Amino acid sequence: MRGIRLNKKRVDDFSDCYVIAEIGHNHQGDVEVAKKLIDVAWNCGADAVKFQTRNNKELFTEDGYNAPYENENSYGATYGEHRENLELSPLEFDILLSYASEVGMTVFSTPFDFASADFLRDRVPFFKIASGDLRNIDFLKYVAGFGKPMIVSTGGAVISDVSRAYDSIISINPELCLMQCTAAYPAEFEHLNLRVIETYRNAFPGCVIGLSSHENGISMAPVAYVLGARIIEKHFTLNHTMKGTDHAFSLEPNGLRKMVRDLKRVRVALGDGVKRMYPCELEPIRKMGKSIVAATDLGTGHILKREDMALKSPAGSTPPYFIGGLVGGVTTRAFKKDEEIIIEDVV
C-alpha cells in the first residue's frame, strides 16, 4: 500500500490530507516575521511549514548573480543581492527550528543546491525538491541518499521526466511523494490539470501523490484530495499586500484555516461507499415520504382498484411501491378517507 511517514505522521490513502504551509521567502528575510508565520500555520491546523534554502553563490552563475534587479519587489540592486537579503542565515534557521519545536510545528525546507542540502541534512525530517530540479538527476540521487522522505514537485515536466526522476529516487529511497504542480505563479485554473493526480496514481502505484498548488483560492485542494492527493502544499502569507512576488497568490491566515478545515471535512464526507440510511434521515424521510391511503371511504369487503388509493405524506408502514400488489385485493375492514391502508388488512 502506498504511504509515507512525515515526521511522526503516516500519510496514505486512508489518512487526512497532510497540509504543508509554504512560507518560502514570504518572511522577507525577517526572523520575527517567520515566527509569526509559523504561529499562523500552527493555529490554522497545518501539519508543517516549508522554507527555501539557497547558497546563492553556488546556485547562480556570476552573470545571473550580478544581473540588475530593480523593480517594486526587489530587495537589492542585483538579483544576487535581492536573494541574499531574502535568505535566512544558518543561525536564523536554527532559531526557527527551535521556535517551531516549542509549539510542535514541523519545519522543513527545499534545498536548491548541494551545499544547502548538506546544511539541511541533519536539521529537517524530510525534504522537498522544487520543480526546477526534476531533471537534476545527480541532485535527486544525492538527496535520496540521505535516507529521508522526499516530496518532489513536477511542474514544467512531461511524464517521461517524472518517470526518470521517480526511477532515480525509488531505487535508493522508497519514501517518496510526487506532487502534481504547474510552475506558474499564480497558475490559471485551466492549467492545473488535476487529473494528472489520477495519472500518477496509476503510473506509480506504490507512491503517495500530492498537489503543489499555486492558484488563487482554496477550492482546488478538496478536489485534489478526492482525486487521490494526500499531501497539499500551498503558499501563505500574513497579508497579500506585503512586498514580494509570492504574496499576491498566497493564502492569508483565514484562507489557510478554511482550506485545512475543508480538507478534513472532505475525508469524512467521502465515507466508505456503502449506501446506508442514517438515523438523522429517519424523521425527514417520514415527513417527505408517502404512504398508501384510502382515496375515499372504503367499506369492508371492498375490491381495491387503483383509483381507490392515493399516495400522500407522511410516510407510514406501507410504502408506495406496494400499490400495484394491492390492486384486486379485498379489504377485511373499513377505511376512512386518507387512512393508511395496511397490507395485513387486505387479502
Tens digit of each residue's pLDDT (9 = 90 or more) over 225-239: 999 999 999 999 998
CATH number at residue 287: 3.90.1210.10
Within this chain, do residues 289 and 203 fall inside the same structural domain, yes or no?
A: no
Secondary structure class of 326 (helix, strand, coil) = helix
Query: What's the CA gap between 250 and 243, in Å, rounded?
Result: 12
How far from the centroid of its chain's Cα atoms is residue 316's Cα?
A: 43
Q: Go through 7-43 and write b for each residue having 16 or more CB atoms within 10 A of its CB, e for each that does not.
A: eeeebeeeebbbbbbbbbbbbbbebebbbebbbbbbe
Q: What share of the chain is helix, strand, coil (3-state, %, to 5)?
A: 40, 20, 40
Within this chain, do residues 83 and 118 fall inside the same structural domain, yes or no?
A: yes
* Residue 180: per-residue pLDDT: 98
Secondary structure class of 334 (helix, strand, coil) = coil
The DSSP 8-state label assigned to residue 308 in this structure reads G
Q: Which domain holds residue 38?
A: 3-270
Within this chain, do residues 260 and 199 fall inside the same structural domain, yes or no?
A: yes
Within this chain, do residues 260 and 309 fall inside the same structural domain, yes or no?
A: no
Q: Take residue 142 and report the three cell numbers written for it.
A: 544525492
* Helix locations, the chain, DSSP H: 31-44, 56-59, 62-66, 79-86, 90-103, 114-120, 137-144, 159-170, 196-203, 220-227, 253-270, 282-288, 323-326
Listed in sequence order, the residues at least 6 apart from 277 whose beta carbon sits closer than 8 Å to its beta carbon are 285
The residue from 216, 247, 270 where one domain ends is 270
CATH number at residue 45: 3.20.20.70
Query: What's the CA gap between 260 and 222, in Å, rounded?
Result: 9
* Residue 42: per-residue pLDDT: 97
The residue from 217, 237, 270 where one domain ends is 270
Within this chain, do residues 146 and 22 fall inside the same structural domain, yes or no?
A: yes
For 104-128, the pLDDT digits (tens) are 999 999 999 999 999 999 999 999 9
For 250-286, the pLDDT digits (tens) are 999 999 999 999 999 999 999 999 999 999 999 999 9
Number of separate domains in the chain? 2
Within this chain, do residues 52 and 179 fall inside the same structural domain, yes or no?
A: yes
* Residue 167: per-residue pLDDT: 98
In the predicted model, is pLDDT for residue 244 greater than 80?
no
Within this chain, do residues 262 and 290 fall inside the same structural domain, yes or no?
A: no
Within this chain, do residues 228 and 176 fall inside the same structural domain, yes or no?
A: yes
How far apart, in Å, are the Cα atoms of 33 and each of 38, 53, 237?
Answer: 9, 17, 10
* Residue 1: per-residue pLDDT: 83
Looking up cell 535566512 gives 88
Within this chain, do residues 7 and 88 fall inside the same structural domain, yes or no?
A: yes
Within this chain, do residues 23 and 91 fall inside the same structural domain, yes or no?
A: yes
Within this chain, do residues 22 and 83 fall inside the same structural domain, yes or no?
A: yes
From first CA to last CA, the distance across the chain in angstroms is: 57
Q: In the beta sheet, which residues pair with residue 310?
A: 293
What is the pTM for the complete model shown?
0.90
Closest CA to 121 of 157, 147, 156, 154: 147
In the predicted model, is pLDDT for residue 178 greater than 80?
yes
In the predicted model, is pLDDT for residue 245 greater than 90?
no
Within this chain, do residues 166 and 292 fall inside the same structural domain, yes or no?
A: no
Are the C-beta atoms of residues 109 and 120 closer than 8 Å to each other?
yes
Query: What's the CA gap between 147 and 309, in Å, rounded?
Result: 74
Q: Take residue 20 and report the three cell numbers written for it.
A: 504543508
How far apart, in Å, are the Cα atoms of 239 and each of 221, 234, 257?
Answer: 21, 15, 14
The residue from 248, 270, 292 where one domain ends is 270
For 1-54, the pLDDT digits (tens) are 899 999 999 999 999 999 999 998 889 889 999 999 999 999 999 999 999 999
Q: Take residue 95 and report the three cell numbers written for it.
A: 532559531
